[in-house]
A and B are shown apart, each in its own frame.
Chain A
Amino acid sequence: MTAEAGPLSHLEQPLARLLPEFLRRFPVADTPDHELRAARFDEGLAFVHFEQGFGGLGLPASAQAQVESVFTTAGAASWDARNVIGLGMAAPTIHAHGTAQQKRRYLKPLFTGAEIWCQLFSEPGAGSDLAGLASRAERRPGGWVVNGHKVWTSLGHVARQGLLLARTDPTAPKHEGLTYFLVDMSAPGVTVRPLRQLTGEAEFNEVFLDDVYVADECVLGSTGNGWRVAVTTLMNERQSLGGGYTERGRGPIGQAVDAFRKAASAGRADPAHLDHLMRLWVAAEAARLTNMRATATAADATVGPEGSIAKLQMAELNKSIYALAMELIGDDALLYASYAPTRPDFASVRGGSGDIRYDYLRSLANSIEGGTSEILKNIIGERVLGLPAEPRADKGVPWNETRRL
């Protein structure tokens, strides 16, 4: 389970045969990125743990990291930040719940980067209690009309497709009245506006849905079954947010070590800083190894609540690491590069921008986005440890009779 070794040296069959052959036919340096990714999809080397014909080979989930590592080493561009929701969340959800027709329609352009995805889940009145959301989808011939207001929509301004969770039956208890839709973000009635964050930039958006028509073939899963589909998305979100560095000492902890070295050479480092740094180094390494162990033991393509452990660790670690790094950069920590509003077309969830002041501020969202640390601890307590749930005031109550806001 050491990922440090050379990427082609210990591949599982049939990858040991297929990957070198693929790279001979499509040399990374001479193949345009779009073509390379289209070819990867056609050959089953896009999501190797998916079914054959839908970008996969039916291999164990652990094989995917090996494939990514081979292409990264060969110099292929990464789409992880540019299409983080498409690759990390939309793909596994569509693969798990989609019809064959839906998988054919969506998975390939998602993988090639032709279609960027966003997620229309959170609302001003539904954050941690996502299942209490109020966006309404009403029946029309051949489809649905949606009205609502969504927030925290990363990449909404560049996305072509959206994962939408909306209420189709307000008289049912909250979890039972939801339906999951795949929405064309260029459809009439979709308005995307920047939502400026405390970092100064508008990485997120708010999305207004005004009488947006969504056809029946864009329902993922069945009507009223949206929560079950959404749980797949959320678990994959946590897995992909928590997933991370395959090499020891990389990522945020590497930035903090660099900052410590600079501080030490400038005579600004205290032994207390070193002990604090090494405490975080050990925790970061433990989190990395736990991730690797979870991936290695994952038998199939489904993601369980264990992803919550990885996500919880990543969030709390990043906050602590960047808080320490701020202490190590001296007077630079009193300044900021620019608070001018910008709209990046990539999602920089894990920091690593190179600017510790920005990364520190951005890390504060880590324990909120994709499930707050408090919600994740509930999930670990209830789904992993089998502890009883807190009594809920809205349990079994029709959604339109519950108190909200």
Chain B
Amino acid sequence: MPNDDAMQFGQYLREFLAKYASAAPHRPPGSGDDYDTDLWALSARQLGVHGLTIAEELGGSGDHLTALGVCFEELGRALVCAPFLSAVAIAAPMLGQLSPESEESARLLRRIAEGSAIVAVAGLSATAPGPALVATPRGIDGVAPVVVDGCAADCLLAAASDDRGSVGLYLVEAPLAGVRRERLTAFDSTRPLARVTFSSAPALLLAPDARPVIDAGLDTAWLLLAAEQLGGAQAVFDMALGYAKTRFQFGRPIGSFQAVKHRLAEMLVRVESARSVVYHALHESEENPAARPVEAALARAAAAEAFLACATDNIQIHGGTGFTWEHTAHLYLKRAKSSALLFGDAVLARRRLAEHLRIVEAAP
């Protein structure tokens, strides 16, 4: 279990998001901004979410991964549309690994902590054998077909391979010369996606031979995404339970029928199981970094499926209402489905788990 401080902060964030949402519903943007800019700024400056695990000397609060996990749980519960996953869950932990040696990384972390930089990550894939981007003496070349928060970003971290086949981590900064960004119609409209084309884009090499940094970064991304999915699962479960108590058919609340009651009991088991795994995985990863790959794969596998199953059941329990555009049920379903496929799906997570546990040999 997260400690009392983390739980209290989570509770505070939950109340803040609930209050904020009622004033300015953070629905998917139909037009204009790619994300909720007010919420983004408030979270960085007033709440300090962005810098939670960033070192204190870089303007963060140097807290545990579990504390950030509890925040992601709340962001997932409220279906917040802002670039937390890119900048805070993926970029910041990778930069954190580099910052002791890299002044550029430290500088960028400082900006992330204060909320003045949105960093998106291009060229990351848990499934493809290597990045699709290449680094040449002229800069970065190639296409990153799907980049989370690619349009909102004011700088990009790019994983690119050089002519020796070594994968490095590069920083492309404003004004993003040689970079073309196209906004895509995302399946999950609360998580904006872009196609990013690099044409000899000038870039700064942050880390050569960055495969270990990228792999550890993906593990952290899986952990925090799992926490976000846990929050989403809890939200749709609460929604379904509330509806089953107040929706009457045949003169009774529908939750009194076993067919509905049993589905809700199964949802509770899924949510509580995911919660146990996610909290345990965050804690163990903090205590014992060597355990992180196992814990990340476990959390990924458990939370992705729990959220998707609950989001699907939530629509079923809401019946025709749950299928409408006006109801939020579909937003959670789309978030659940696309999050389950982002950075490698649960099948991959289970395969990784089997390899880490030495149930099978790792693929060459």
Q: Is the interface of A mostly helix, strand, loop or mixed?
A: helix
Q: Does A335 interact with chain B (Cβ within 8 Å)?
A: no
In the complex, per-residue mask of A369-385: 1 if CB is within 8 Å of any chain B CB, else 0: 00000101110111011
Q: Can you list 21 A-B pairs, Cβ within 8 angstroms, ordered by A? A: A2-B284, A249-B357, A261-B359, A274-B354, A275-B347, A282-B302, A286-B276, A289-B276, A293-B276, A293-B279, A297-B1, A309-B269, A313-B269, A313-B273, A376-B265, A377-B265, A378-B265, A385-B255, A387-B253, A390-B258, A391-B256
Q: 16 more A-B contacts (CB under 8 A) besides A2-B284, A290-B276, A292-B276? A: A277-B359, A278-B353, A278-B359, A281-B354, A282-B277, A285-B277, A289-B280, A290-B272, A290-B273, A290-B275, A378-B265, A381-B264, A381-B265, A387-B264, A388-B253, A390-B258
A377 to B258 CA separation, bound complex (whole angstroms)? 8
In the bound complex, residues from chain B placing their C-beta under 8 Å from that of A2 are 284
Residue A279 at the B interface, CB < 8 A?
yes
Interface residue tally for chain B (C-beta within 8 Å): 37
Task: List residues of B whose CB falls within 8 A of some A CB.
Answer: 1, 241, 244-245, 252-253, 255-258, 261-262, 264-266, 268-269, 272-277, 279-280, 284, 298, 301-302, 347, 350-351, 353-354, 357, 359-360
Are B273 and A380 in touch, CB under 8 angstroms? no
Chain A residues contacting B255 (CB-CB under 8 Å) are 381, 385, 387-388
Whether A130 sits at the interface, judged by CB under 8 Å, is no
Distance (Å) between the CB of A323 and the closest chain B CB?
18
Contact A279 B350 (CB under 8 A): yes
A76 interface residue (CB < 8 Å to B): no
Q: Which residues of B contact A48 (CB under 8 A)?
A: none
Cα of A390 to Cα of B255 in the assembled complex, Å: 9
Report yes or no: A1 in contact with B1, Cβ–Cβ below 8 A: yes
Residue A264 at the chain B interface, CB threshold 8 Å: yes
Alpha-carbon distance A278/B354, docked complex (angstroms): 7
Residues on A with C-beta less than 8 A from B252 are 388, 391
- The reply on A287 being an interface residue by CB < 8 A is yes
- With a CB–CB cut-off of 8 A, which chain A residues contact B284? 2
Distance to closest chain A CB from B219 (angstroms)? 16
On whether the beta carbons of A385 and B357 are closer than 8 Å, the reply is: no
Which residues of chain A in 251-277 are interfacial with respect to chain B, using CB atoms and an 8 Å cutoff?
A: 257, 260-261, 264, 274-275, 277
Query: Contacts A260-B359, A287-B273, A293-B276 given: A278-B350 contact, CB under 8 Å?
Result: yes
Q: A1-B1, A387-B261, A388-B255 are in contact. Are A309 and B353 (CB under 8 A)?
A: no
Instruction: Say whether B273 contacts A378, CB under 8 Å.
Output: no
Give the distance to chain B from A253, nearest Cβ to Cβ, in Å: 11
Please name the residue on chain B nearest to A283 by beta carbon.
Answer: B273
**Residue on B nearest A308 in the bound complex, by CB:** B265
Among residues of B, the one whose C-beta sits closest to the C-beta of A373 is B262
Q: Which residues of A contact B264 (CB under 8 A)?
A: 381, 385, 387
Closest CB in chain A relative to B137 CB, distance in Å: 43
Separation in Å of the B166 CB from the closest CB of chain A?
Answer: 31
Cβ–Cβ contact A282 & B350, under 8 A:
yes
Task: Give A91 to B351 CA distance when docked, in angstroms.
Answer: 44
Of A264, A274, A286, A374, which contacts B262 at CB under 8 A? A374
**Bound-complex Cα distance A385 to B253 (A):** 14
Once bound together, how far apart are the Cα atoms of A278 and B1, in whole Å?
A: 24
Identify the closest chain B residue to A386 (Cβ).
B245
> Min CB distance, A393 to chain B, in Å?
15
Chain A 289-325 interface mask (CB, 8 Å, partner B; 1/0): 1101100110000000000010011000000000000
**Is A389 part of the contact surface with B, judged by Cβ < 8 Å?**
yes
Contact A281 B269 (CB under 8 A): no
B256 is contacted by which of A1, A309, A384, A389 (Cβ under 8 Å)?
A389
CB distance from B263 to the nearest CB of A (A): 9
A-B interface, 8 closest residue pairs, ranked by CB to CB distance from nearest: A286-B273, A381-B261, A278-B350, A289-B276, A380-B265, A377-B265, A387-B255, A388-B256
CB neighbours (8 Å) of A381 from chain B are: 255, 261-262, 264-265
